[in-house]
Amino acid sequence: MRRIRFVIVGRVQGVAFRAYTQSAAQQFRLVGFVQNRADGAVEGQAEGEERAVAGFVEWLHQGSPWSRVDRVEVEELAVVAAEQAFDVRRGR
């Protein structure tokens, strides 16, 4: 199992990025969350099998059809193993 924190910088708010991220995470069978940040970026956490998380990180570089991903930051975290779904949260 692997858990990451991700931050996506670019044109990623107002372009359905969070909804597409949730859908991609569900396809990879990941749990976690995604949310908007006040600085215009999107951040979240994802947890699942190593290969699934790696595939999700690849997807993050593509983004939603209307987004423009300029930078993807990924940080390794300790596995939580308590979540049941991948949620879209309200931004900060």
Which residues does the annotation mark as catalytic? 18, 36
Angle of helix 50-62 relative to helix 17-27, nearest 10 degrees?
150
